[in-house]
Amino acid sequence: MIKLILFYCTVILTVNLFSQSLPIFLDGETDDWNVPVPTYVDTENDGNEFDFKYFSVTNDEQFLFIRLKLTPETKLIEDNFLTLYIDGDNNNSTGVSANGIGAELRWDFGTRTGQFYKNGTTNISFPEIQYRSLPTVTDTTYEIAIGRDVLPNGTDPLFSSPSIAIFFKDNDTNGDWMPNSGVTFEYTFDNTPTPPFVTTEIYREDTSYLRIMNYNVLFDGLLEPGRADNFERILQAVQPDIICFNEFFNSSAVQVIDAINQMLPLPGGASWYGVMLDGGNVTISKYPFIQSWLVYSGHRITATLIDLPQYFEKDIMVINSHFKCCGGVQNDETRQLEADATINFILDAKSPGG
C-alpha cells in the first residue's frame, strides 16, 4: 500500500507542474535545465533491457525540448527499440493509439526514422521535424529538440494544439513504458519569450593561429549545385587554413580543389592543395604537402604532413579519418581496428626515423 501511495503522489506532482519556457542550448550537458519544469518520474526497475527513469519537458519560441533519463548507458540513435510518441493535437481519437493518447508522431530512436499520422501516414526523418538530440555517443541522459512549427507531411502541422501528450515506450519484448500504463502526461506550451542567445564569435583571437576544420559533406554534397551556396557561406565564415573533408565517394581531389578555389579564393590567384588516397576523404590545405600516407588500406584514414610557413615552429601532421559508420556493435570491431591502426601510425611517426 505504501508503494502505491508513493507512486500516485509522484504522478500528481510531476504531471501537474506549470509549464516553463527555457532558453535551452542543446549540447548534451543539461546544465541549463536549472528551474522546475514538468517532469514525469517513472517507476524504478520496471523495464527489461532499458529502464526509463524520468523525462522533463520545456520549450522556447521555436522548439519543444525533452530531457530523457534512462539506464543502462546506451547510444540513443542506434541499436534499440525505444520510441517517442507525441499527440500533437491532444486528441486521443486521432493519430495512432499509444497508451491512451492519439499520437500524430511516432519517432524510433534506434533507426532515426518516424511516421506522421495525419491525412494518411508519412514516413519521416530528421529534417521533417527539425529533430536533433545530444549527445551522439553513449550516455544515460539525453536532450531532444523538435521544431514547433514543422509540417511533417508538407501540409499539416505536428503541433496544432497548445497542449500535447507525450509517451515513451521500449517496443522490445517486455519493454518499459513511460508514463506507465493508464497514465497520461500532458504538456502545455509556455509562450513567454526567452532571452536571446548571445552570439558566439568565431573570429581568431590571434590571426597567426592555424585553423583546421573537419567537414562531412554527406555524399559529395559540396559539389551539388543546390547546396553549394550553403557550403560557401559556412566556409567563408570559418575561414579555415586546412580542411579535412569526408564523404566524397564519387568525386576527385581535383574537383574538390576547383570548388574550394571558387568558394575560398586565395590571394594572388593561388590554388589550394589537395589529396585523396582513400575512398572518401579529401584533405585540402593553403599550404603545400610534404607527403601523404594511406594509414589503413581499404579504410578511410589518410595522414598528410603539411609544410607550414616559417612563422610556425614546426610542420604539422594531419590525419583525416572517417571511421566505419553505424551498424552498432556489429561494426565495433572494425572501428577498433581503425583506431588501432591510427594509433600505431602515430607511434611509428613519432619514433626515430618514423
User: If you average pLDDT over residues 129-140, what whole number do you get?
Assistant: 95
Q: For position 9, what pLDDT does the model report?
A: 33
Q: Residue 46 belongs to a domain with what CATH number?
A: 2.60.40
Domains held by the chain: number: 2
Considering the domain architecture, whether residues 253 and 327 belong to the same structural domain is answered as yes
Highest mean pLDDT among 30-34, 64-68, 312-316, 349-353: 64-68
Rounded to whole angstroms, the Cα distance separating 86 from 144 reads 13
In a domain, 201, yes or no: no
pLDDT at 1 over 70: no
In a domain, 91, yes or no: yes
Check if the beta carbon of residue 215 is closer than 8 Å to that of residue 227.
Answer: no
Considering the domain architecture, whether residues 18 and 147 belong to the same structural domain is answered as yes
**Residue bearing the bigger pLDDT, 196 or 115:** 115
In a domain, 157, yes or no: yes
Tens digit of each residue's pLDDT (9 = 90 or more) over 119-134: 999 999 999 999 999 9
pLDDT at 171 over 70: yes
Phi, psi (deg, nearest 5) at residue 175: -75, 160
Q: What is the DSSP string of 69-121?
A: EEEEEE-TTSS--EEEEEETT--TTSSEEETTEEESEEEETTTTEEEEESSSE
Considering the domain architecture, whether residues 184 and 216 belong to the same structural domain is answered as no
**Residue bearing the bigger pLDDT, 320 or 15:** 320
Tens digit of each residue's pLDDT (9 = 90 or more) over 8-62: 333 333 354 568 899 999 998 899 999 999 999 999 999 889 999 999 999 999 9
In a domain, 204, yes or no: no
**Residue bearing the bigger pLDDT, 282 or 3:** 282
Q: For position 20, what pLDDT does the model report?
A: 86
Partnered with residue 178 across adjacent β-strands are: 168
> pLDDT-based confidence at 329, cuts 50/70/90?
confident
Check if the beta carbon of residue 222 is closer than 8 Å to that of residue 231.
Answer: yes
> pLDDT-based confidence at 5, cuts 50/70/90?
very low
In a domain, 97, yes or no: yes
Q: For position 19, what pLDDT does the model report?
A: 80
Considering the domain architecture, whether residues 117 and 254 belong to the same structural domain is answered as no
In a domain, 199, yes or no: no
Share of the chain above pLDDT 70, in %: 95
- Position of cell 526509463? 52
For 152, the domain range is: 2-188
Share of the chain above pLDDT 90, in %: 84
Q: Residue 334 belongs to a domain with what CATH number?
A: 3.60.10.10
> pLDDT-based confidence at 75, cuts 50/70/90?
very high
Phi, psi (deg, nearest 5) at residue 40: -110, 125
Q: Mean pLDDT in the chain?
A: 93
In a domain, 162, yes or no: yes
In a domain, 145, yes or no: yes
Considering the domain architecture, whether residues 34 and 161 belong to the same structural domain is answered as yes
User: If you average pLDDT over residues 141-163, what whole number do you get?
Assistant: 98
Considering the domain architecture, whether residues 103 and 146 belong to the same structural domain is answered as yes
Considering the domain architecture, whether residues 155 and 263 belong to the same structural domain is answered as no
Considering the domain architecture, whether residues 90 and 183 belong to the same structural domain is answered as yes
Considering the domain architecture, whether residues 162 and 220 belong to the same structural domain is answered as no
- Which of these three, 188, 220, 244, is where a domain ends? 188
Q: For position 162, what pLDDT does the model report?
A: 97
Considering the domain architecture, whether residues 220 and 174 belong to the same structural domain is answered as no
Q: For position 2, what pLDDT does the model report?
A: 32
Considering the domain architecture, whether residues 27 and 86 belong to the same structural domain is answered as yes
Rounded to whole angstroms, the Cα distance separating 328 from 312 reads 41
Considering the domain architecture, whether residues 165 and 257 belong to the same structural domain is answered as no
Contacts of 177 (CB under 8 A, 6+ apart): 52, 99, 167, 168, 169, 170
> pLDDT-based confidence at 193, cuts 50/70/90?
very high
Q: For position 298, what pLDDT does the model report?
A: 96
pLDDT at 207 over 90: no
